[in-house]
Amino acid sequence: MKPFLLIFALFTSLTLRAQEEGIRFGTASWSETLAQAGKENKLVFLDCYTSWCAPCKWMDKNVFVLKNIADFYNGQFVNTKFDMEKGEGIELRKKYNVQSFPTYLFINSKGEIVHRTGSRMTAEEFLEEGRMAADPDRSLSSVAKRYAEGQRDIPFLLNYYLALNRSDRQASEKIAAEIAAKMTDSTLGTPLGWKAIKNLARSSNDKFGKYFLAHTDDFKHYTTGADLDALTDRLLSSTLYGYVYAGNEAAFYEGLKHFSKSKSIERQQQAVMLEAEFLQREGRAKQYIALTDKAMKGVLKDQAEKLSFLARRVSGKKEADEKMKPFLPQAYKLAKKAVELDPEEYSVQSTFGWICLSLRKKDEGLKAARKARALADAETSKIQKLAQELVDEFDRL
């Protein structure tokens, strides 16, 4: 084969392969899509998005393109997507009461919602939502109907909670309370109990978290050590934040040892984040400065997001309150370091800009504000408005 033809054939092959990767979304009208679903005896997967929705774009780029996701969704559903602010999307948004983006609807050929979910999620979470939608025993419409008819056994209630959690958080918490009331210690130590604990435990003080932390080793039969460690850290972090807000210093520092004394870098980083929050709320600027100076040279030296978060906790507004003013110079150092590490992240530039505004550092701040405004074009309209507000504030200085 001639070199030109070989290159052309290779390009064509790669192009076709690229087109086949990921979820294949149809471009037919809504009525045609429903008709296709009826003909193929499938549900429609409808991606409700907008052009400005950052989580929508993230899902497109990081989840929809994965092979295991594509294989499942392309095999199980007729896939389509509509911009909820254009064309037929406007009516679909009204018809299905779409309030947030992304919203994911699984709809039968009659146009009835079988399952509803949404938000940014991991690939495994998104895959599980598809599995629930495709399972007549676990889809939201199915379990809601059986709940209305009076079914209340624990395995069923857990499935109902999981089906409901992403679409109606308030209603799902009521189901969680029902599960907690039914669960006994003998049930909590079973595989069913582990399923409840990993989904419903919130802190070391609630029923699920308390049992788990007292019997962690018993769950090694049901999951990995990494999962157990992750849940332990989440529960203890939640509890420690409670001590922070209550001003319970003795309990806070005793619990902090789980993180600060650990050999794990991730836990040491979490220890800094927790202690910084405590010191800030207590108004202990000198201790806060010493802690974060050490962290910038140590466990947080390459952690732009965490450094920016610490700075943002001091001042994300144009004026810091009186209690935060002693912390502002250190917040400036943290935010500036974060910008050096990750200059292309909107939140990092924006945080630095707001802190510079509080300190009246116009030259540095205006540069950060303009950079943040440019980066905001890839974010939501609300974020774009906030970014422009920051630029306007500097122009008025």
Q: Which sequence positions are flagged as catalytic?
A: 53, 56
Q: Give the position of tokens 């008819």.
A: 149
Contact 133, 79 (CB under 8 A): no
Contact 105, 92 (CB under 8 A): no
**How many angstroms separate the CA atoms of 163 and 143, rounded?**
8
Q: Which helix (H) or strand (E) holds 389?
A: helix 381-396
**How many angstroms separate the CA atoms of 16 and 19, rounded?**
5
**223 SS3 class:** coil
For residue 245, count other CB atoms closer than 10 A to its CB: 11
Residue type, 67: K
> Going edge to edge, which strands form the sheet with 113-118?
77-83, 43-49, 103-107, 113-118
Give me 356's structure tokens: 């510079």
**How many angstroms separate the CA atoms of 21 and 200, rounded?**
36
Contact 70, 22 (CB under 8 A): yes
**341 SS3 class:** helix
**165 SS3 class:** coil
Bridge partners (DSSP) listed for residue 116: 105
Q: Tell me 378's DSSP state.
A: G
Cα dihedral value 50, 56, 58, 64, nearest 10: -120
